């Protein structure tokens, strides 16, 4: 595989006293958490092997007790607190997965915790936080984004003297997440294989920092690919600027990676490893397509962030037989989201389109639209009569699903040739998002 690093950070801005995370630190963490956290499977994926020509393995962190790798960093951090800190209690902010790891640690270690999550956190994740934490955890829903919830958590901790357990911007958390890489290398060694490429989902970059630190020591030939959502490219923004920057806004759909700012600790670690790093961003629609493929082919119920790594594969080229590991970071997905996932996937693949059609108010116009405008394989998935503009015309919102993406040009030409006045609603425009969000 050919790799090219992202824009080089301004190394002069990094702290002179930087101390890297070492493999030995991660191995100590592995021993510390092994009594409560079992290794997860490393599974060969025939479908992705055939598609890429590489030997692709999936690291199934969605099979953790809390359905994500976040339990590693959370438990590693919480288990090292002093008695005084445990008595004062802990506070955490999370989009959902870190919160479950902290809740699990609170209940297991008998520590009172208070967890802040943004309002956009799926109900499934909120429910699981309560299950894992029981009466040891208080759940607070506040703010529209992770960053707003994090600000509220830090303010609460400062007021009460509690300890904040950071989801990614902390050495203890990074070291705990690095145990994923330690397991991967151990499992591959048991198969008689070495790791050529590891593909890592990235939000705040805690997992990425741990993985890249471990392979730097133990498998220096390994290249690391970080995949972040197009709607929240905080890592790429930091690399471009030479320091962490706060994005103006993020698309919250990939909730586990919708972070406005890469952690300072994480960026410092990553900045010293750019020679082995490639950063990609993938669209939310592409993530949805891969979510469905994982479910339909491998039976894996991943959450959006959990599918980031495999979504990035189509953007990469591999040598035949190259050993590639994709980390499936989490599986906390609410089944109620699958209608939206299907919708976004269809739009991404060019199969779903929406139009505003003005129908003349005279007999036969709908029949004309069905028989003369639509193709034989086009399917109407939505028809909503919105209003009558005047006595001559009336507007309808029409959703059309195509069998093949290339059929769109034929449909658009038929509309242009028709006496009907039709306007396509384009993804990304305010009117499209407003109308389709209610579909």
**What's the order of all strands across the beta sheet hosting 277-282?**
42-44, 55-60, 323-328, 197-201, 223-229, 277-282
Do residues 28 and 177 share a domain? yes
Whole-number pLDDT of residue 6? 35
- Give Cα separations from 5 to 81, 272, 275 (angstroms): 37, 12, 6
CATH code of the domain containing 157: 3.40.50.1100
Q: Do residues 49 and 103 share a domain?
A: no
- Kindly state whether residues 63 and 79 are assigned to the same domain: no
147 assigned to some structural domain: yes
Structure tokens at 48: 């992705």
Q: Please confirm, yes or no, whether 70 is among the known catalytic residues.
A: yes
- Looking up residue 372, the CATH number of its domain turns out to be 3.30.70.260
Tokens of 331: 């599986």
Q: Which of 342, 359, 390 is the last residue of a domain?
A: 342
Question: What CA–CA distance (Å, rounded) separates 311 from 289?
Answer: 8
Same domain, 24 and 136: no
Domain stop point among 154, 171, 188: 171
Do residues 228 and 303 both lie within one domain? yes
Distance between CA 11 and CA 117 in Å, rounded?
34
Query: Based on the domain organization, do 183 and 287 belong to the same domain?
Result: yes
Strand, helix or coil for residue 130 = helix
| Residue tagged 């972040």 (tokens) | 228
Q: Are residues 121 and 268 in the same domain?
A: no
Same domain, 232 and 307: yes
Say if residue 91 is in the same domain as residue 158. yes
CA distance 182 to 185: 5
- Examine residue 247 and state whether it is found in any structural domain, yes or no: yes
Catalytic residue, candidates 209, 213, 329, 345: 329
Same domain, 308 and 331: yes
Q: Does residue 109 contact residue 35 with C-beta atoms inside 8 Å?
A: no
pLDDT recorded at residue 437: 60
Q: Note whether 300 and 177 are same-domain residues.
A: yes
Given 70, 114, 278, 352, the catalytic residue: 70
342, 363, 393 - which closes a domain? 342
Count of alpha carbons within 13 Å of 152, Cβ hemisphere only?
Answer: 19
1 domain residue, yes or no: no
Q: Which helix (H) or strand (E) holds 342?
A: helix 338-348
Task: Tally the domains of the chain.
Answer: 3
On whether residue 3 sits in a domain, the answer given is: no
Domain that holds residue 150: 70-171
360 and 428 in one domain? yes
Q: Could you tell me if residue 148 is inside a domain?
A: yes
Annotated active-site residue 8? The verdict is no
State residue 7's pLDDT score.
Answer: 35
Is residue 4 situated within a structural domain? Answer: no
Give the mean pLDDT per block of 10 residues along the chain (439 residues).
36 61 97 94 98 98 95 96 96 90 95 94 89 95 90 95 94 97 98 98 96 97 97 96 94 90 96 96 96 97 97 96 97 87 93 91 86 92 76 84 95 92 86 67
């Amino acid at each position: 595989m050919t790799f090219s690093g992202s824009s080089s950070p301004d190394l002069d801005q990094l702290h002179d006293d930087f101390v890297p995370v070492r493999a030995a630190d991660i191995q100590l963490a592995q021993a510390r958490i092994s009594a409560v956290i079992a290794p997860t499977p490393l599974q060969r994926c025939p479908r992705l092997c055939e598609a890429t020509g590489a030997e692709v393995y999936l690291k199934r962190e969605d099979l953790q007790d809390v359905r994500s790798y976040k339990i590693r960093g959370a438990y590693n951090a919480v288990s090292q607190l002093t008695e005084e800190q445990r008595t004062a209690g802990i506070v955490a902010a999370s989009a959902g997965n870190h919160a479950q790891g902290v809740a699990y640690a609170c209940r297991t270690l008998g520590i009172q915790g208070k967890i802040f999550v943004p309002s956009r956190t799926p109900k499934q994740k909120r429910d699981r936080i309560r299950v894992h934490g029981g009466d040891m955890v208080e759940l607070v829903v506040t703010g529209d984004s992770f960053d707003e919830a994090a600000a509220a958590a830090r303010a609460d901790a400062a007021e009460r003297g509690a300890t904040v357990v950071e989801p990614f911007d902390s050495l203890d958390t990074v070291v705990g997440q690095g145990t994923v890489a330690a397991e991967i290398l151990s499992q591959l060694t048991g198969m008689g294989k070495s790791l050529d490429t590891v593909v890592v989902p990235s939000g705040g970059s805690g997992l990425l920092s741990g993985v890249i630190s471990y392979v730097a020591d133990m498998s220096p030939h390994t290249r690391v690919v970080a995949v972040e959502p197009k709607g929240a490219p905080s890592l790429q923004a930091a690399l471009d600027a030479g320091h962490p920057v706060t994005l103006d806004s993020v698309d919250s759909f990939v909730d586990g990676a919708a972070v406005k700012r890469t952690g300072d600790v994480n960026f410092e670690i990553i900045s010293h490893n750019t020679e082995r790093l490639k950063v990609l961003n993938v669209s939310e629609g592409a993530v949805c397509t891969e979510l469905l493929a994982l479910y339909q082919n491998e039976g894996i119920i991943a959450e959006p962030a959990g599918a980031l790594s495999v979504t990035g594969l189509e953007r990469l080229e591999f040598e035949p037989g190259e050993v590639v590991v994709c980390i499936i970071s989490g599986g906390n997905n609410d089944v109620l989201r699958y209608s939206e996932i299907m919708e976004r996937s269809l739009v991404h693949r060019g199969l779903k389109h929406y139009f505003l059609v003005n129908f003349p108010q005279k007999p036969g116009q709908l029949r004309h639209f069905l028989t003369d405008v639509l193709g034989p394989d086009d399917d109407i998935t939505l028809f909503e009569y919105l209003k009558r503009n005047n006595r001559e015309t009336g507007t309808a919102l029409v959703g059309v699903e195509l069998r093949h993406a290339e059929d769109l040009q034929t449909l658009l030409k038929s509309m242009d040739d028709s006496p009907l006045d039709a306007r396509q609603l384009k993804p990304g425009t305010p009117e499209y998002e407003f109308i389709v969000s209610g579909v």
